[in-house]
């Protein structure tokens, strides 16, 4: 079993608190992504897991074994860095073979000329060579083995770095933004390859990125990290449609979620952006709420009224399968963005007045502290009340 437990990890650099008590349990064979903006502490956490950095407090276990104080080499993890960290003076083959040579050959067997008189060198060396050739072929870089990193494209270098990690047969793969140096098209392709790699190897992956599309497409679970804390850990779809926190809702999703500031008028009803919205959640009158509305939660409506925003069309973006309409709403600082189906909204023109409806169950509510207010289960409440009266 190679599950991972991070328990209350803290880390500061000087007076900067980078990790503020991070706890995370990762299942054997799971693909978990740390997602968060630049500087939130993702790489620091990954480096602590790899043993390249030491936490101030808290503990790390890999496969039920505490690895605190265990050297990186002995943790059975392989890390792929954003920079790929390839040795420029070595060929691709030599770069890939390095971890195997260090592990399988003795210091004597690695000496330049003397090694050939030490028994076993030839046999182990040819085993390593075979393994490198096989792995390189599988990654589509078999023809590049005699080149140096400087003679490779970004995508090819990335494959070499992955190959060097694979040949170690680690129980855990750690990847720190491995695709960030690639162009958009290659990134999508390599994303699919990494997902396939995970499926084939069946080992645990911990992946770091600030790219939400990568996190959402690759992961079994996404751990959203902000300011050195994990805010929510959940499957991608849940992170998107059922966020625990306003900051998660804002960080995930493109276009960004629409947020309207409102005040509860009476139980089950809130005023925001000049409109009254019915709520499925009880909040006391006078309470400040933010209403989160995903762009696809809107539908075109014939007229204004409750649960409907009315405004002038500012901008229309045709994206092929989708149409993004930016609507200027009186009383709302930012335009509201709605995603509509082109066939349902064929004649929308700039400047036109539009009504956008949203059903109460599509509203995501956040309290003044940004915590999510979930819908009350009113049916259950009613049943309880009826029982009380009976
Ligand atoms: N060795 C170090 N010494 C001092 N400060 C550091 C060190 N390493 C990281 N930091 C600081 O810790 C914070 C978190 O850094 P970290 O590299 O973990 O962020 P990140 O989430 O990986 O960001 P990015 O997405 O930009 O890679 C940053 O403010 C960074 O400047
Ligand atoms: Mg980083």
Q: What's the pLDDT tens digit per position in 312-334?
A: 999 999 888 889 999 999 878 88
Atom of ligand 1 nearest to the CA of 36: 21
User: Looking at residue 383, what is its pLDDT?
Assistant: 43
**For residues 225-248, b (16+ Cβ closer than 10 Å) or e, as one string?**
bbebebbbbbebeebbeebbbbbb
Q: How many Å apart are CA 81 and CA 176, to the nearest integer?
A: 5
Q: Return the structure tokens found at 117.
A: 């008189």
Q: Is residue 160 in contact with ligand 1, taking CB distance under 6 Å? A: no
User: What's the confidence (pLDDT) of residue 387?
Assistant: 44
CA angle 11, 17, 19 (to 5 degrees): 50
Mean pLDDT of 16-28: 97
**Lowest mean pLDDT segment, chosen from 46-60, 97-111, 137-151, 189-203:** 97-111
| Interval between CA 4 and ligand 2 midpoint (Å) | 20
What is the rounded distance in angstroms from the CA atom of residue 126 to the CA atom of residue 257?
56
What mean pLDDT do residues 170-187 have? 87
Average pLDDT estimate for 127-149: 90
CA of 164 to the centre of ligand 1 (A): 25
Residue 191 pLDDT exceeds 80: yes
The string of DSSP letters for 105-159 reads S-TGGGSTTGGGGSTTHHHHHHHHHHHHHHHHHHTT-GGGTTS-GGGS-HHHHHH
On the question of pLDDT at 339 being above 80, the answer is: yes
Helix axis angle, 121-138 relative to 92-104, nearest 10°? 130
Q: Whose atoms come closest to the Cα of 11: which ligand?
A: 1
CATH 3.40.50.300 location in the chain: 4-246
C-beta of 39 in contact with ligand 1 (< 6 A): yes
Closest ligand 1 atom to 41 CA = 18
Mean pLDDT within 96-110: 79
CATH number of 4-246: 3.40.50.300
Q: How far is the CA of 44 from the centre of ligand 2 (A)?
A: 7
**Cα–chain center distance at 268:** 34
How many degrees, rounded to 5, is the angle at CA 230 between CA 248 and CA 158? 90
**Does the CB atom of residue 54 touch ligand 1 within 6 A?**
no
Report pTM.
Answer: 0.87
Measured torsion, CA atoms of residues 214, 218, 223, 226, in degrees rounded to the nearest 10:
-10
Peptide bond connecting 255 to the previous residue in cis, omega within 30 degrees of 0: yes
User: What span, in angstroms and rounded, lies between the C-alpha atoms of 318 and 134?
Assistant: 46
The pLDDT of residue 344 is above 80: no
pLDDT number for residue 377:
57
Query: With a 6 A CB cut-off, is 11 part of the ligand 1 pocket?
Result: no
Residue range 196-216: average pLDDT?
93
Q: State the average pLDDT over residues 5-31.
A: 97
CB 85 within 8 A of CB 174: no
Cα separation values, 193 from 121, 189, 217, 340, Å: 34, 6, 12, 32
Binned at pLDDT 50, 70 and 90, residue 135 comes out as: confident
CA distance 316 to 312: 11
CATH 2.40.50.140 fits 255-389, yes or no: yes
C-alpha–C-alpha distance, residues 159 and 267, integer Å: 57
Q: What is the model's pLDDT at position 126? A: 84
d(CA 207, CA 5): 15
Q: Is pLDDT of 81 > 80?
A: yes
The answer, yes or no, to whether any atom of ligand 1 lies below 6 A from the CB of 47, is no
Expressed in angstroms and rounded, the spacing between residue 204 Cα and the centre of ligand 1 is 24
Share the mean pLDDT of the chain. 89
Across the beta sheet with 57-62, what order do the strands follow?
16-26, 4-13, 57-62, 65-66
Question: What does the angle CA 88 – CA 93 – CA 95 come to, to the nearest 5 degrees?
Answer: 45
Q: For residue 46, which atom of ligand 1 is closest to its CA?
A: 18
**Mutational test site, ligand 1, from 10, 14, 15, 16, max ligand atoms within 8 Å of CB:** 16
Tokens of 234: 């959940």
pLDDT value, residue 382: 47
How many Cα atoms sit within 13 Å of 143 on the Cβ side?
1
Range(s) for CATH 2.40.50.140 in the chain? Answer: 255-389
Q: pLDDT band for 1, please (50, 70, 90 cuts).
A: low
Q: Across residues 191-201, what is the average pLDDT?
A: 90
DSSP 262: E
Looking at ligand 1, which atom is closest to the CA of residue 225?
Answer: 21
**Which pLDDT tens digit goes with each residue over 37-62?**
999 999 999 999 999 999 999 999 99
Cα 54 to averaged position of ligand 1 atoms, centre (Å): 14
Q: Which of 134, 178, 174, 133 is nearest to 154 (CA)?
A: 178
Q: Please work out whether the CB of residue 44 comes within 6 Å of at least one atom of ligand 1.
A: yes
Determine the distance separating the centroid of ligand 1 and the alpha carbon of 21, expressed in angstroms.
16
Q: How many residues does the chain have?
A: 390
Q: Is 219 in the pocket of ligand 1 (CB under 6 A)?
A: no
């Amino acid at each position: 079993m190679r599950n991972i437990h991070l328990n209350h990890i803290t880390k500061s650099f000087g007076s900067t608190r980078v990790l503020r008590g991070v706890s995370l349990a990762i299942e054997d064979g799971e693909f978990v992504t740390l997602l968060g903006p630049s500087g939130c502490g993702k790489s620091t956490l990954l480096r602590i897991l790899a043993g390249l950095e030491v936490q101030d407090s808290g503990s790390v276990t890999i496969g039920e074994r505490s690895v605190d104080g265990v050297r990186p080499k002995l943790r059975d993890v392989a890390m792929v860095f954003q920079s790929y960290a390839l040795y420029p003076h070595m060929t691709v083959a030599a770069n890939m073979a390095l971890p195997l040579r260090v592990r399988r050959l003795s210091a004597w067997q690695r000496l330049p000329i003397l090694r050939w008189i030490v028994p076993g060198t030839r046999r182990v060396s040819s085993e390593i060579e075979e393994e490198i050739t096989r792995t390189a072929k599988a990654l589509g870089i078999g023809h590049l083995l005699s080149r140096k990193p400087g003679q490779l494209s970004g995508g090819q270098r990335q494959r070499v770095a992955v190959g060097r990690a694979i040949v170690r047969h680690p129980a855990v793969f750690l990847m720190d933004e491995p695709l960030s140096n690639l162009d958009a098209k290659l990134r999508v392709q390599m994303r699919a390859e990494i997902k396939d790699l995970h499926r084939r190897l069946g080992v645990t992956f911990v992946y770091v990125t600030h790219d939400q599309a990568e996190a959402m497409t690759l992961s079994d679970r996404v751990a959203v990290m902000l300011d050195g804390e994990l805010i929510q850990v959940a499957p991608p779809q849940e992170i998107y449609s059922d966020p625990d926190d306003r900051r998660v809702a804002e960080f995930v999703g493109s276009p960004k979620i629409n947020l309207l500031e409102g005040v509860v008028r009476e139980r089950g009803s809130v005023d925001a952006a000049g409109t009254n919205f019915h709520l499925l959640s009880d909040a006391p009158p006078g309470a400040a709420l933010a209403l989160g509305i995903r762009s696809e939660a809107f539908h075109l409506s014939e007229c204004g009224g409750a649960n409907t925003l009315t405004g002038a069309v500012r901008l229309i973006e045709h994206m092929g399968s989708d149409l993004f309409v930016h609507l200027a709403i009186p009383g709302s600082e930012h335009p509201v963005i709605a995603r509509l189906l082109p066939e349902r909204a064929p004649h929308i023109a700039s400047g036109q007045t539009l009504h956008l409806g949203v059903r109460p169950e599509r509203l995501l509510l956040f309290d003044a502290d940004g915590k999510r207010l979930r819908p009350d289960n009113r049916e259950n409440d009613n049943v309880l009340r009826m029982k009380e009266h009976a």
